[in-house]
Structure 1
């Protein structure tokens, strides 16, 4: 699929003309609509991503050339963030160009206010651990060698206590510092957030919001009225590359383990590094319901505590996953971990594994899943590993900042 010569010609307009902003706004809307449609139909997206990226860059340039004010600079920074969030961004050198453009625009803006507060624990006590598991996740006393990891340890989940304590994110550049998180981004940045504790809920939604407002919302309000906002499964390092220097990718992520026996269709991420890194930042009570992913996962707990529930792929028949879309092609087998038919729910269980009373769950779940399930509460500095296809659910016990590394 091609973006079309008409749309391409629009990118060659004279930025000095009065019609440029309107034309580029329309082009951004078209590219966004076409990109969303291509994602839904699993069609190629590269050309629409590149069109969206370039249109956002040119529109921001037209905005500044037209009038250099703080308002226009902030508007342009937000638009460039959208290019990163929505489109990748696509195109050689585009991400670096956007970072340079944002830095130049931020010079025109007042600096972010220094905030000495920390992402601290909530005053309310944590709920009890779930009773939907039989064993704790294995905690290893020492880090396995790469040979041991490949030959033995990569077959089942384990936790390495304190493995990432030497990350800058836990020391000289502490991610629990609101002042640092504000300064590393600079003014006028926006991020994508989920609104609601659980994406299965009817009132759950998504939105873009200022990074500063999101951070402020993570500080518990005295009256408990703050909304549940969750920055979930987002490559924040694409937006704020300085944060990438605060983590150290474990060697295990580059070990290239063999496909597990219970997940023979495993393939590493299809990007150049064969690695996908995302962050998860939200308040106490935010939940990622039980679901599967198609990759090996190293999950690093940086700030706060998070409870993790796990069950092996063989539990799938008893997890009551949401059904695939009724109009999904009948010739294509449904792989829940591939998550191709219902982007949010096809790999997700409808059961609440954190329910206080396990008696409320189906008999088949209690008989076939609970005996195989395991659980642990991660502390800051802990590293969790689990193989592809494993069901996993997460619950933040307090304000939590985590990094997932799929490989």
Structure 2
């Protein structure tokens, strides 16, 4: 615990020095980044006052008042994040969110947090919100946070070894010595989700199986063993049809050496809990079937809560079956059955220990041709800055999670680490028949199709907003009638050519830039996308 306390006091000293009164500093003389000097001086003075107090001996200041002042600062700083689109938030305000969050985390380490949850949970929650909401700008801030999580992992492991015997450390360096009190932190509970084959209290270390509907594959994407880099380059150039450019292909046999597939298996819920500090790490979760559906929303919750609420629960009734239930079905039950998806999140920047479990495929270092001129992404791709390295995102959720038909400005390798997915792709030349959306609520949605592939094929119900467009009828139209109307509305979609595949565990799917794709999880699924240009 002394290691963690010393680590916290070190960053407090750095922040305090960086908040020296502005009249003694200039932009040319401050030894630290001067972004904070753009903020109101009174805010900086208030934060400096709190850091000065924390550097004094415990008990020499009013804990409750200090916590209130930090809460006021945090509320003010976070409020600014919602004034602008995120990419336009001035760095100074993101810096303040970061600095205040770090100070609040150190307060919890020192045992002054005053919260209802354990101090470890408080530290993890505070620092994860800093990473997710601000990006942790500032010299050495992200490194300090990552080191804090490393030390906390050691602390949790030590506590587990002690077996919570009552002789453990207290909250971080607070009011009592380690031998004087039981720890306020209970040992993390292992995931215990009952299913048909487990006895009550059994520890489950496997994801639930699913009887999810599997769409038929009508136009299979070719599969091939991952070739050497030279052959890969020639393949992506597609000399057979230069007008089309690169085409989709599934590569097999390229992931067997990944730690995530073997000695550090992502197929193990318990391993993922360990890497997330007993499931304490926060993750952003999309709640709802698809981001274009009504009622879709987002939550930031602990990873363990995400597993328990959305991933590890027994299979639920599909939309088609629920539609036949009596009217007035319990709303709370419907909410409970909502899909949760950890989608397009840079989990590996937030949790570097998971990043070491995967490897960037060789193909991501090649330079494929740009998208065809007919692609809506052609101009976007041309204007997109060259990436120094691929962008990595995680996609994790239960059976039934959906990414609606859309197109991205990058080449993409979709690596299937756990479970199976159905993927359908349409080439750039088919864009006109895919009914791209326009601007919606001030947001350009032109990269997403109006067509719900599942509804058009009859796998899912027609979206409710489509039903509301119909004239009032004396009788509720049948499911078949709704589908027929939907297909008539998007008649051109049925003429668009596509290729599709069931992506199996351990396979890469190459999605060329400019190709539209619809993705549907057929089981608990954990994928990684590698975007590059």
Whether the 8 Å CA contact 1:296–1:387 is kept in 2: the answer is: yes
Equivalent in the alignment of 2:108: 63
Whether the 8 Å CA contact 1:267–1:295 is kept in 2: the answer is: no
Please list, as runs of the form range in 1=range in 2, the aligned pairs for 1:269-348 lying within 5 A after superposition. 273-325=388-440, 341-342=443-444, 345-348=445-448
Bigger mean CA deviation after superposition, 136-145 or 264-273: 264-273
Please list, as runs of the form range in 1=range in 2, the aligned pairs for 1:3-402 lying within 5 A after superposition. 3-15=39-51, 16=53, 18=62, 19-39=65-85, 43-65=88-110, 67=112, 71-105=118-152, 107=155, 109-114=185-190, 115-122=203-210, 124-129=211-216, 135-143=219-227, 145-146=229-230, 147-149=233-235, 151-152=237-238, 155-187=246-278, 188-217=280-309, 218-221=311-314, 226-262=337-373, 263-266=378-381, 273-325=388-440, 341-342=443-444, 345-355=445-455, 356-357=457-458, 361-362=486-487, 366-367=491-492, 370-402=495-527
Once residues 516 and 48 of structure 2 are traced to their aligned partners in structure 1, the CA distance between those partners, rounded to angstroms, is 49
Whether the 8 Å CA contact 1:192–1:206 is kept in 2: the answer is: yes
Whether the 8 Å CA contact 2:287–2:296 is kept in 1: the answer is: yes
Would the alpha carbon gap of residues 238 and 112 (structure 1) be closer, same or farther in structure 2, given more than 3 Å must change?
farther
Would the alpha carbon gap of residues 99 and 271 (structure 1) be closer, same or farther in structure 2, given more than 3 Å must change?
farther
Would the alpha carbon gap of residues 296 and 20 (structure 1) be closer, same or farther in structure 2, given more than 3 Å must change?
farther
Would the alpha carbon gap of residues 55 and 288 (structure 1) be closer, same or farther in structure 2, given more than 3 Å must change?
same
Once residues 80 and 302 of structure 1 are traced to their aligned partners in structure 2, the CA distance between those partners, rounded to angstroms, is 28
Query: What RMSD in Å do the two structures reach over aligned CA positions?
Result: 3.0
Bigger mean CA deviation after superposition, 66-75 or 180-189: 66-75
Gaps of 5+ in 2: 1-34, 54-60, 156-170, 172-184, 191-202, 240-244, 318-335, 459-482
Bigger mean CA deviation after superposition, 349-358 or 100-109: 100-109
Once residues 387 and 246 of structure 2 are traced to their aligned partners in structure 1, the CA distance between those partners, rounded to angstroms, is 25
Once residues 204 and 409 of structure 2 are traced to their aligned partners in structure 1, the CA distance between those partners, rounded to angstroms, is 40
Residues 349-405 of structure 1, C-alpha deviations (whole Å, 9 max, x = no match): 221112334855556855466442111110000101112232111100011000011
Gaps of 5+ in 1: 329-340
Would the alpha carbon gap of residues 13 and 390 (structure 1) be closer, same or farther in structure 2, given more than 3 Å must change?
farther
TM-score (norm 1): 0.84
Whether the 8 Å CA contact 1:24–1:59 is kept in 2: the answer is: yes
Once residues 122 and 113 of structure 2 are traced to their aligned partners in structure 1, the CA distance between those partners, rounded to angstroms, is 11
Once residues 401 and 299 of structure 2 are traced to their aligned partners in structure 1, the CA distance between those partners, rounded to angstroms, is 16
Task: Give 1:278 shift.
Answer: 0.7
Once residues 179 and 391 of structure 1 are traced to their aligned partners in structure 2, the CA distance between those partners, rounded to angstroms, is 35
TM-score (norm 2): 0.66
Once residues 403 and 409 of structure 2 are traced to their aligned partners in structure 1, the CA distance between those partners, rounded to angstroms, is 16
Task: Give 1:28 shift.
Answer: 2.5
Once residues 300 and 359 of structure 1 are traced to their aligned partners in structure 2, the CA distance between those partners, rounded to angstroms, is 36
Bigger mean CA deviation after superposition, 298-307 or 79-88: 79-88
Residues 114-133 of structure 1, C-alpha deviations (whole Å, 9 max, x = no match): 444212421x2424337xxx
Once residues 397 and 139 of structure 1 are traced to their aligned partners in structure 2, the CA distance between those partners, rounded to angstroms, is 19
Q: Which has the higher contact order (CA 8 A, sep 6+)?
A: 1
Whether the 8 Å CA contact 1:194–1:232 is kept in 2: the answer is: yes
Once residues 209 and 128 of structure 2 are traced to their aligned partners in structure 1, the CA distance between those partners, rounded to angstroms, is 30
Once residues 90 and 363 of structure 2 are traced to their aligned partners in structure 1, the CA distance between those partners, rounded to angstroms, is 31
Bigger mean CA deviation after superposition, 163-172 or 213-222: 213-222
Once residues 113 and 400 of structure 1 are traced to their aligned partners in structure 2, the CA distance between those partners, rounded to angstroms, is 24
Task: Give 1:11 shift.
Answer: 3.4
Once residues 409 and 316 of structure 2 are traced to their aligned partners in structure 1, the CA distance between those partners, rounded to angstroms, is 41
